Chains A and B, each alone.
Chain A
Amino acid sequence: MKSRFNLILVGVGGQGLITLGRLIGEACIRAGLNVTVAEVHGMSQRGGSVVVHVRIGEGDSPVIPLGGAHHIIAMEVLEAGRSARYANRDTVMVVNDLLLPPPLAKHPGKKEVIDALKSKLERVYIYDAEGVSKKIMGTPISSNIALLGFSLGVNPALESLISRVAVEKALEAIFKEKALDLNKKVFEEAFREGRSNIGG
């Protein structure tokens, strides 16, 4: 393979991006794939921008070049907009339907950011990940898992690399008992909703 599969995860510190990166890494091991999961964050413990670079396939260089993302998972709308520089025209982007503006800063609205993304990308999906997490878990805590399920649903190229089975095995390595069952449900439901978006 000439190029690895490049997956960018973006959001705000505290949203569960590092866990999501680990989960995908664990899923890759279970799918027999090489992977690098690089966490890029500054000094802030919470509330700062976080970018996780996941690169699947042979090779060790961890950071994805600008324009090099095949798929982007954004846990927050402004961070989705900020991640545009990693996208090319063919990038698939899944955006959590959530706006968390930094304090006291002037910022564009949700619709403006999404419209701007859609004007440049063919495949932008907005997903209410908090909704599915709240429905099944009672809290937004599994929004990250929902966005991964939805991403596998709308992007068969990603699903052909890390199968649903591999993700479920990875969930088993991270969660136990009730939390495991509920997270599997969140993942499956989000996958189905994603797939129905592309007519599957």
Chain B
Amino acid sequence: MHPVLARKGETVLLMGNEAVARGALESGICLAAAYPGTPSTEIVETLSEVAKDLKIWVEWSVNEKVAFETAYAAAISGVKSLTAMKHVGLNVAADILMSSAYAGVKAGFVIVSADDPGHHSSQNEQDNRWYGFISHIPVVEPSSPREAYYFTKESFKLSEKYGHPVILRTTTRLSHTRQPVTLEEDLPASPVCKGVFEKAIDRWVLVPGHAKKLKIKLLEIWKKIQYDTSEPFAKIINPGMKDVIIASGIAYSHVEEALRIAGLESKVTILKVNMPVPVPRKPVEEVLRNAERVLIVEELDPVVEKQVKSISKELGLACEIYGKEYIPENDELSLQVVYNGICRFSGKCDPVMWESIGELKLEPQIPPRPPVLCPGCPHRSSYYIVKTALNKAGIRKVIFTGDIGCYTLGFQKPFETQMTSFEMGGAIGIAHGLSKVVDEAIVAVVGDSTFYHAGIPGVINLVFNKGRAIPMILDNSVTAMTGHQPHPGTGVTAVGEPTVRILPENILRAIGFETFVINPLKVKDSISVLAKALEEFKDGKNIAIISRARCALEVLRDARKTKTVLPVYKVDPEKCTGCLACVNLSACPALVLEPDSRKPVIIEELCAGCGLCASICPFNAISVANTPTQDWEKLW
């Protein structure tokens, strides 16, 4: 049984994201919609795994805006719902986010924003607590996976109390940490799944006249939340001390342990803030009135700090308030960083917790393991094919615009087929703009999931506004980077039910692109198809490329399941001249040079049998070493 289905009283090991899913289920949601994005993905993935058993609707929407709208529609019809996204995903949904605060909800509605301090897998580390201010939606922030469970439920209660959306903000370290969680309630036997849409034109139609009135109501709710909220959204621990630490979210967990290690836990008053926006007014006033010195510990921006300083000023208090003087404003916080900050603030502890033996001094040094395209990854072949074809067509100067996905790793040598990467779908708009101002040929590389997410308006604009760029869709028929979630080109829904498969070539052809579909496993054929296609491009036509093969990780998994033997390649040392073209042009991790050897070997356990290296080798020195199952190609 899935751990999120365990019974009341049981203690289960849950990842922060699973804890959010369980909290939402206990709260009685009947609809969840999301677009996958690290570190948020496992919330709706978990829900998708239990959706059929629980008879609730769970979907992977095409993007965060659509996901938000889907979940919001349920909530304005009286059905509790959740949407979840990574921090930058909320930018995509920001339009509806603002409006949802004006119109409010009729049932609990929680928006999970999974932020990524330290940008472990993101283009930036924006602090989405600010969205609380611009939208007037309260932001709840748990400090541990266990609290993620608890505060998901509290967020739904808060949302129901005020008929207002609530943002639950988590961060990577919490999203991806597992902890024992003791379940407080059973799942509701029959959550409300049937909604009623009540026609209320003056509420759901945000024309200026209606919005003006709704704004007044919105500000009343905002003020109430600020002034009437205390526990559990803020908690004073060890009251009465002159030194006060105010900590929000996961920063609290670092503060708690740092004070324990420094032996200061009885000498400091802590205000644990679980709703950083707006900070509950009363408990802040209470701790400030007694305080002489205050330190605010929070990850990233001074969101709580600015509010506390402003309250202190309003009240005319004399206490000294510090924050970013002691706690860094960039990167993720940790016990070590917070401990150092508290030691400097208090001047009362030894800054060394443990003496590290330090890095080992070795010659050569231990090499880094940067993320690379997996062995057999079809993107590797696609990149080799397009570069070779461009070369054959005599197109020497090329700009490759890029996007967000595994294929972003093509920024590295030897490919360098990602020269920009800003946001989802950005490859195409950037390519269009560049084509208006530069002379080089432009290839806009975008993944399939990203194409559906935000690429389609870009390709329409490209044709409409007479841009000169070649969209190239790397289509592995799944959202691979976040763990293989289905999308409109997969043919199944989030819960595994068959559905219509929408192919990108049909969309591109309808828009007016002459569209060429290649199989990156067939390297030589694909090069000649593209060489021809590029001639058409030179003649002034709009062309688009789709390179389609499944993700190698999925193929390997299916091969194990179906006991299919995939080809494994080997290098014939007799024929190999040691030119290293295979190594230098493919950068495949399965191809290695043993120390003191000039000729590469293929690591059998890593080879996925894509055959790119064999296609590259000018001396036919690489060939299949085993007897693959007939029809193995069908798995790709």
Contacts and interface: CB of A to CB of B under 8 A. Distances in A.
Contacts of A67: 353-357
A4 to B, nearest CB: 8
Interface stretch (B63-71, B174-182, B617-625): B174-182
Contact of A66 (B174, B356, B360, B368): B356
A102 B367 contact: yes
A71 B587 CA distance: 36
A61 B253 contact: yes
B364 interface: yes
B574 interface: no
A25 B356 contact: no
A20 interface: no
Given A60-B179, A65-B334, A68-B353, A22 B13 contact: yes
A116 B362 contact: yes
A181 B285 CA distance: 60
Interface string B513-531: 0000000000000000000
A102 B254 contact: no
A198 interface: no
Most buried by B among A62, A66, A86: A62
Interface residues of B, number: 61
- Residue from A26, A39, A40, A66 with most neighbouring chain B CB atoms (10 Å): A66
B143 interface: yes
Given A59-B260, A61-B256, A89 B357 contact: yes
Contacts of B177: 36-39, 62
B121 A107 contact: no
Given A67-B355, A85-B359, A88-B354, A59 B256 contact: yes
Nearest to A103: B589
B364 A108 contact: yes
A120 B353 contact: no
A21 B260 CA distance: 26
A106 B367 contact: yes
Contacts of B146: 60
A113 B360 contact: yes
A113 B146 CA distance: 39
A82 interface: yes
B361 interface: yes
Nearest to A57: B257
Interface in A93-124: 101-108, 112-113, 116-117, 120-121
Interface stretch (B208-216, B220-228, B370-378, B432-440): B370-378
Interface stretch (A27-35, A146-154, A187-195): A27-35
B249 to A, nearest CB: 11
B148 to A, nearest CB: 11
B335 A78 contact: no
A102 B481 CA distance: 21
A145 to B, nearest CB: 17
**Which of B177, B257, B260, B368: most chain A CB closer than 10 A?**
B177
A10 B121 CA distance: 19
B555 to A, nearest CB: 13
A190 to B, nearest CB: 22
B542 interface: no
Contacts of B124: none
Contacts of A113: 360, 362, 366
A78 B366 contact: yes
Nearest to B176: A39
Contact of B365 (A22, A89, A108): A108
Interface-central residue, B144, B180, B588, by most chain A CB under 10 Å: B180
Nearest to B594: A101
A46 B553 contact: yes
B237 interface: no
A78 B367 contact: yes
B316 interface: no
B176 A88 contact: no
Nearest to A105: B367
Nearest to B592: A103
Interface in B424-476: none
B314 interface: no
Contact of B144 (A60, A64, A65, A85): A60
B593 interface: yes
B505 to A, nearest CB: 27
A45 B374 contact: yes
Contact of B367 (A66, A87, A88, A107): A107
Contacts of A85: 356-359
Given A42-B371, A89-B357, A29 B180 contact: yes
25 contacts: A21-B178, A37-B179, A43-B120, A44-B370, A45-B374, A47-B374, A47-B589, A59-B257, A60-B253, A65-B334, A65-B354, A67-B355, A67-B356, A81-B360, A82-B366, A88-B357, A91-B357, A101-B367, A103-B587, A103-B592, A104-B592, A106-B364, A107-B364, A116-B361, A116-B362
Given A37-B13, A105-B367, A112-B362, 5 more contacts: A3-B261, A59-B260, A61-B254, A86-B356, A88-B355
Interface of B: 11-13, 120-121, 143-147, 173-174, 176-180, 250, 253-254, 256-257, 260-261, 334-336, 339, 353-372, 374, 406, 409, 481, 553, 583, 587-593
- In the A-B complex, list the 7 residue pairs whose CB atoms are closest, starting with the nearest: A67-B356, A44-B371, A105-B367, A67-B354, A60-B144, A60-B253, A65-B336
